[in-house]
Amino acid sequence: MEYKIINNVDNNRFEAKLDSEVIGLIDYELSEGNVLIVPHTEVNTKYEGQGIAGAMTKALLEFASVNSYRILPICPYTKAYIDRHPEYHQLL
- Asked if residue 22 lies in contact with residue 32, where contact means CB atoms within 8 angstroms, the answer is no
Residue 82: give the domain boundaries: 4-91
pTM: 0.94
Q: How confident is the model at residue 54 (pLDDT cuts 50, 70, 90)?
A: very high
Q: How confident is the model at residue 2 (pLDDT cuts 50, 70, 90)?
A: very high
Q: What is the CATH number of the domain that holds 52?
A: 3.40.630.30
- Asked if pLDDT for residue 32 goes beyond 90, the answer is yes
Count: domains in the chain: 1
Cα–Cα nearest to 53, from 63, 43, 39? 43
Q: CA 83, CA 33: separation in Å to the nearest integer?
A: 22
Neighbours of 80 (CB within 10 A): 12
> Which amino acid makes up residue 36?
L
